[in-house]
Chain A
């Protein structure tokens, strides 16, 4: 068997028991990269020293395994572009905290993955370096903005991957690529060294072949960081602890299946099926009635994200390390300008402040729901992956696609997407989104694991 198809858990097991060697592992991973990268355009930069670095990491928990990293994470000495021409040749002189923690735990950055430029999108089609193709069906998009990382996992071009989510950017590509995507609570993982998108919702997270793989990776990178003042002193549990706890006795709320945009779709049907599965496993499951309409979150997210990003991208002026503002792609220009507008004199109250007020309402709504439910489930994406070219002439593509995820992202809640259904005709997937209350990743991971084991896609 090809070792690149192993899960992270199995890889670590086999390395520990010396059933496989790092050389063998990297040989197979490198082969997969050589075979697929040109066609799928997953990696923007490949680390040719990976196996050498891996050998130095053998005795650590992650034992030198190859991890794909989204290209908005600064990696010292390794090109970091955020898929934009503005940073086409930028070589950071420092590591993001997530990267230094990954290395401390023994992981190796095998390459930097493609993404929507500046993470502005949900398709990876707006990368300045060409789209990534969905490994499940290369006529289709992988989703975004962590499309490259999700594709890397789906194509076994790595053992696990790191992504980031501002409003769906981990979970949506995971669902489109048929892999698992874990977005932790905002403040659980440090944003230091990650090119900022929307500062108040950006969350680095894990993308993996299984739920357990994501939990293992999250263990390596989570925790308060003195370099990021928004990280929480909340104690970090072992996220693999209680993996097999199951859902017996839990109360689970089902969201959005009756929403006009989803009624009668495969996505809705898949969630209804998932609800039945959880019931079988011992949970009490019922449809949620008092959840806020997710389409309004589109407005909140659009304004908050663009406002914050207009400011976050103001430092790219071609002086210290980048090519300057003429190199921004169309989407970036649009977002910066709109964000400048929504913060400008005479409009800030109408747009920015109002958006932040509606945000408060979503947070309140969720607290009310979590007073009643332990977990909330719903479709990750309204549908399957879309075809290449789908984003053309559609500036709001991402926001509409991520509608079901925006409410939890703007609230800072943790969520995980697990594959829930595969269409045999297209080989494309749907994902189940499970959302937990703040800091309750362990229980959402347990539910995701139970579901994953039952469904065995």
Chain B
């Protein structure tokens, strides 16, 4: 688990945390008015409107994500 309680035994031991790199990606738009009710962009199959943007994602390094304006 990422966090918790360790009860230390008499023999000792090692607790290792493994990490992977993630990057922060912001998805946004410019030019579309706030009154526009339609879809502006689709990210990984999810439709996003003006009110949803900008939106921030933390994505794993090397992962692939689709978008369509």
A and B from one complex:
no
Taking beta carbons and an 8 Å cutoff, which residues of A are in contact with B?
A: none
